[in-house]
Structures are given as C-alpha cells and as structure tokens.
A = this chain, B = another copy of it.
Amino acid sequence: MAGELVAERKSASFDIRELTYLLGGGKERVERREYLQDIVAKDPVFRKEDHLDRVGYFKRSLEKSKRFYQLKTEMNLNMDDIRFVKSAIDQELPTDLHDGMFVYTILGQGTDEQKEYWLPKAACMEIIGCYAQTELGHGSNVRGLETTATYDADTEEFVFQSPSLTSAKWWPGGLGKTATHAMVFARLLLKGKDHGVHPFIVQIRDMETHRPLPGVQVGDIGHKFGYNGNDNGYLLLRNVRCPRHNMMMKFSRVTADGKYEKPPHDKLSYGTMITIRAFIVFDASANLQRAVTIAVRYGAVRRQFSQEAGSKTEMKVLDYRMQQYRLFPLLATAYAFHFTGEFMLKLYRDLQKDLSTGNFDILAEVHATSSGLKAITTWTTADGIETCRKCCGGHGYLNSSGLPELFTRYVPACTYEGDNVVLLQQTARFLLKALADARASKPLSPSVQYLSNIASIKGERCTVKRVEDWFDSEVQLAAFRHRSARLAAVSGRRVQSEIMSGKSPMEAFNVSMIELVRMSKAHVGYVIANSFIDAICDIKRADLRTVMKRLCDLYALYTISNELADFLEDEYMTGSQTKMLRQAIEQCLIAIRPDAVPLVDAFALSDFVLNSTLGRHDGDVYNALWEHARAEPLNKNEVVDGYVEHIRPMLKQQVVVASARL
C-alpha cells in the first residue's frame, strides 16, 4: 500500500520542494510555517477528538483559544505567524471574531485615540470582542437593521434598544458565551432623526462574574451544520448604555452636544470588508487544496476493477479518465485560486496606498472584483470539496476521511461576509457602469479593459485551427474577454429594455438578474484566468513554469468547456473548435497524471492538518481506517448499550403487542 505513493512521487516532472517554496513565499517562510505547525501538532491541547457532545466540544474549543493566546504571546507571533498557527489548529475558535472582525473594525473605523485605547486591551485579552451586525430579521440588508442607539446628551451616552423579536442580534461568532464586548451595529438616532447604521462597542457581560449585564439577554443560537466550536449568539438589548466615545468615529462622529458629522466618502468603510475578502479567496484555495490532496492520494492507492480478463491486478481509480476529469480540474482550480489570492492581496495593498493618499479611483473596482471573486471561489470550493468526497467512494462518507468536516466547516463561506448572489449583484452594478463608461469612451479600470472594444465584439471569432492552438494563453484570454464583453452588452440591453418598458431601475435590475449573474460570473472567470496566466510569467524555474502552465491550461480550458454555451451561442466558437477543446482537455489530463501526487504534495499539508485516514502522506489507508474504527465509542462494549432494552425483546419475541389497533 505504502509503496503506491512512493512510486507516484518518483514520476514528478519538477522539484516538489521548490514548488512548495514558490507557493509559500520562499524557503524561509515555508520553514517558519512548518516550524509553527509542528509546535501545534505536538501540543496535546490541540489534539483532535471525534466524539464530544456540544458542551464538551465547546469547552475544548475555549481551551484551544487560551492555548493559542498563550503561544501568540510567548512567541510574539506576527500576523503571518498567526495565520500559520490558526491554519494548523484547524478549528473554529470562540475568539476568532475577536482576533478578526472586532479588531479589524477598530483598525478600520476607529480614530487614532480609539485605536490607542481599545487595541492594547484587545491584544492582551483584557476584553473579548465580537462582531454583532446581523440580526434575526436582517443579514444581507444591513441598512434594514432595527437595533437603535439613541444619544443621551445629558450623560454623553448612547442608549441601545432591541425594539422587536427580529431585531435581536443573531449569528455573531463568540457572542453567545464568550465575548465581554460586542461591536454592535445600530441605527444612530439623534434628536429623533435616523442617521443610519453605525458601529459601537458595547459591553455586554460583567467583567467579574461574566454574567450578562442588566438589560442584556444573550446566548447561543443552537447546533449548526458545522462551526460548533464557535458560540454564534443572539443578543437583545434593553436600555443598555455605552459612552459616546465607544462609537467608532473615524468617518462619522457625534459631538458631545449631539451633532452628527458626515463621512467624506461613503464607501470608506469597505476597507475592512475587502481585507477579509482577500483572505476568503486564499482560504478557498487552502480548503480546496486539502480536499484535492485527500482525493488524489486516495485515488492513487485505491484500486478497483482489473482491466484485463483474468488479471488479479486492479486499476488505480486515479487512472480512470473520468476520475481524472472530476479531480484534476479541481487541482488546477486550487492553484488558480492561490494565485488569484496573491493578485487580490496586491490589489488590496495598492488600494490601501491610494486611500492613504486620498485617491478613491480604484475603490469601486476593488470592491466589485473582490465581491465577485468571493462569490465564485467560495461556491466552487464548497462544490469541489463535496466532489472530492464523492470521488472517495464509500470511505469518503466516514468522518475519518476528513472530508465531511471540511465541507460543513467550509460551506458557510458562501453565506457569511455577504451572500454570494447578493455579492454578484455588486459586481454587476460595477460592470453596467463600466459598460456605460466604455460606450461614452471614458477611461476604464484595468480589469474591464475588455469593454473598450465593445463595438466590435460582434465580428470576433475564436482563432483556433488545431488542438495545440488551445494551449496559447492569448487564445484563452481572448475567449474570456470576448465572452465577458458580449455578456455585458447583452445585460446592458436587457436592463435598458426593461426600463424602456416602464420598470423602475431597481425592478429592471431584479428581473434581469439571471443575465446579470451570468455576466458577473464571466467577468470573474476572466479575472481568475488572467491572474493565473500572469503569475506564470513571473515563475523563474523552468520545471515549475512548465507544470504550472499545464495546470493553467487545464483551468482555462475546463472553465470554457464547463460554460461552453456562453462561447457557442453567438458562434464565437465552432463545433470543430469545441471538439478540439475537448481533445486539448484530455491531453492536459494525461499530461498531469504523472504529476498528480507531486502536485498535491507541493501543498505541503501535514497529516495533522489533513486529519484524514484516506489522505495520509504514506498512503497506508486501510490500516488507518482500522485504527480509527477501533476508537469508536460504540465498540467499547462487545454487546451494545440498548441490547437488553431493545434488541433482546425482539429476538426473544417479547415485544408486547397490544391487540391490533386497526
């Protein structure tokens, strides 16, 4: 068994370790990551358990939170280090939103004095915060939040009310049982005037007893698909107060006598959200990497059906063309998302630079692109994890495969930080505006340059003449650009015609949504392919460049074939080019096969993180499955609890049967 993967690794066309360095930001950074992840793996506090009930699992999660904080302090971990350690801990923690959104909001929306006051407290856990935006009745529509913060000039305080059942905060991570403070998003009321939703830091628990403060009703919202190590909570506020300076005042402020001062630019508070979204794209890659590692390694160990009559030797399931067709595009996608994540971080850094110099030009594009990328990468990853699980046959259904939990913990990424359908509408709004700019010959942002020749798309045709032509990155990008421009034109016409027919712009937008989403998906597809292709040009080592180009081809061509109608509908591509496209894809699958295990090895995911009987580095799958079954609590007793009460009465014909009811 173990021999299977040794042989697979010998067939690598490239230096696996060098690819790990390329992905991981260099030798030093990778070694630092491995050093930290090893500390986590060896720490008994971070052991993984399979059989805890909710209360026990939550208590263990708190223990991990504390241990994480201890490590962070002892080792003086920086931001990079913290990401490494958290990814090694590989579990949601009750303090994740304290470390994340709570602190980010202070960083992004607090004044310098507020940052000086709150950040040190947060850093040393003197307070534990959470991000309390969503309510029972409102998630996507933040402007519809009902919680109110009324200013009381006499005491210089805000007074919070939850005016209805649906106004309860509902979902904030860490709120239920852990947080002492909440970043509460509430409608600011000044002298009866509603100034819309703003963030305030509200203390919700007593610092001595940890009991909810008077007027605070708080708890956990219940068992979830996953994430049960996090106490997503509810919160009702009745006459709860906070000092005036607890309102985050970098952009809007309330003076001591209750005057409101407006923000200079109404999109400024997007900064925090965009950082988060850049990391969401990286996380999509990281999660898909895990799923693909498990399925590819297992596929190289699992043998099923002999391919010659009478032969005892069976075929590795990874050698079935269909298994390759299901898995290798996901392998390519995991790489594509990684490079797209790098592209986004760069975009975000550029944005930060521009914003600090008062330049807001790039903001709309970054917001639109990050929204669309978040939607597409999370959907693709959620579906991809489940495909990988199905590719493991029956054993993929065991928790010990590592895939069920990976899925349940990942899928909410499609919903939190913005429901994906709602986000794609942000992308669509930007694209419609860019289309109008293009028609008016105004300058276009980098990602939508393809709209500049919107007038000439009708005549454009795919230039492929032979199968090999499909491996030309320019040919691939031309197809993506053409499709995006065409669908933008189609969408623009659709919305226009709805408005002409008398609908309001909002109504027109809603009824055109199917087209608009198609357009937005096409745009994002182009951005990802473009990021991947660009990244390859920067790779110095020839062996890595070659294998990455192959994956990039597969990503681009598979995406085109998967959304093929978009390219056929206007006869941009012909039937014979389609046939060549399919041949090109199969050539990619064949070329990637010898590198498949090396390519997942390059992700350098440790057995501790994979936590998978099927995805182990040594391929010793069957012994691992046995080991795991041994630990099942039901196997503690030879005769199961319930035998005497339920099984034996049946076998012994002692089930009391009343006279027939009917």
Contacts and interface: CB of A to CB of B under 8 A. Distances in A.
Interface of A: 50-55, 58-59, 62-63, 65-66, 69-70, 73-76, 124-128, 134, 136-141, 144, 165-166, 168, 170-171, 176-178, 180, 207, 209-212, 219-227, 231, 234, 304-308, 314-315, 319-323, 325-326, 382-383, 386, 389-390, 393-394, 396-400, 404, 408, 411-412, 414-416, 419-421, 504, 506-507, 510-514, 517, 561, 564-565, 568-571, 575, 578, 582, 586, 622-623, 625-626, 628-629, 631-635, 638-643, 645-651, 653, 655-662
B75 A660 contact: yes
Contact of A70 (B223, B315, B564, B657): B657
Copies in the complex: 2
A513 B165 contact: no
A225 B70 CA distance: 33
A74 B629 contact: no
Contacts of A568: 564-565, 568-569
Nearest to A95: B650
A165 to B, nearest CB: 6
A457 to B, nearest CB: 13
13 contacts: A59-B640, A69-B655, A73-B655, A125-B650, A171-B394, A176-B635, A219-B635, A222-B399, A225-B389, A226-B397, A321-B514, A569-B578, A571-B575
Contacts of A420: 390
A426 to B, nearest CB: 13
Contacts of A578: 565, 569
Nearest to A412: B397
Contacts of A227: 397
Contact of A58 (B506, B642, B645): B642
A661 B40 CA distance: 14
B629 A222 contact: yes
B137 A322 contact: no
B397 A404 contact: no
A656 B647 CA distance: 52
A649 to B, nearest CB: 7
A571 B511 CA distance: 29
Contacts of A510: 307, 315, 319-321
